Amino acid sequence: MSKTASLYRMVTDEHICPYGLRSKDLLERKGFSVDDHKLTSREETDRFKAKYDVKTTPQTFIDDERVGGYDDLRSYFGKEPAGQTGTTYAPVISIFALALLLTAGMQYFVTGEYFSVRSLMLFIAFSMVMLAVQKLQDLYSFSNSFITYDLLAMKWLRYAYIYPFIEAFAGVAMVAGLPALAVAPFSIFIGSVGATSVIKAVYIDKRELKCACVGGDSNVPLGFVSLSENLFMIAGGVIMFMY
């Protein structure tokens, strides 16, 4: 027996509600035939809200009973609320995984091999550049988070604004194969300060903080992953001197 749901969502020339599209997709994946009512103007949307005494759209009705908005619909089907909740390592894991794949692809293209000492340095370099991009998207937000635990940034706030540029420079320079003396000291310096700061904040002071490694608005907890980022930077600088 066919299941039918009525969906009321805002679709105007200026705005197409993303949650309306998500509601429609979820209903269809659950086997519902969707009676899709598009609210094509602000006035029509306001009349709908007033009629059903609701504050937001979209709104879904199943068996003539109002289910509610997108999160309500997810709850109706036994799903958790949409979006990221709580702390997560997903952003950092994604960056490291893509950096590893990019390293393997480039190494194979150049040498026909997947791993060498050079590929380890490339992995570190790609990771540094990707992490720097995350920070550079919003320097103010990054610096606000960074200065709460970085020992140097606490004393000299400008360092929080300079740091992502140093990280990006060191990463690009490693890929380019610039002389070690021109690159490695920067990587070792910011890695050493960062590692010391994380150890003090997390393992000595026992503070529970969010890491600014992927930007100021992330929910990545400050801890082992953050420490690993800094140790990678130190390792990258050391490898440059060795090879």
pLDDT at 157 (0 to 100):
95
pLDDT in tens, 30-59: 999 999 999 999 999 999 999 999 999 999
Strand spans (E) along the chain: 3-10, 32-39, 59-62, 65-68
pLDDT at 181 (0 to 100): 94
pLDDT at 2: 60
From first to last of the 243 residues of the chain, give the pLDDT tens digit.
Answer: 468 999 999 999 889 999 999 999 999 999 999 999 999 999 999 999 999 999 999 999 998 899 999 999 999 999 887 765 567 788 888 999 999 999 999 888 888 777 777 788 899 999 999 999 999 999 999 999 999 999 999 999 999 999 999 999 999 999 999 999 999 999 999 999 999 999 999 999 999 888 888 887 778 888 888 888 899 999 999 988 887
Provide the sign of the torsion angle of the four alpha carbons 35, 39, 44, 47, taken in this order: positive
Distance between CA atoms of residues 237 and 174, nearest Å = 9
Give the global pTM: 0.78
Query: 89: helix, coil or strand?
Result: coil
Q: How many CA atoms lie within 13 A of 157 on its CB side?
A: 7
Q: Which is it for strands 32-39 and 3-10: parallel, antiparallel or unpaired?
A: parallel
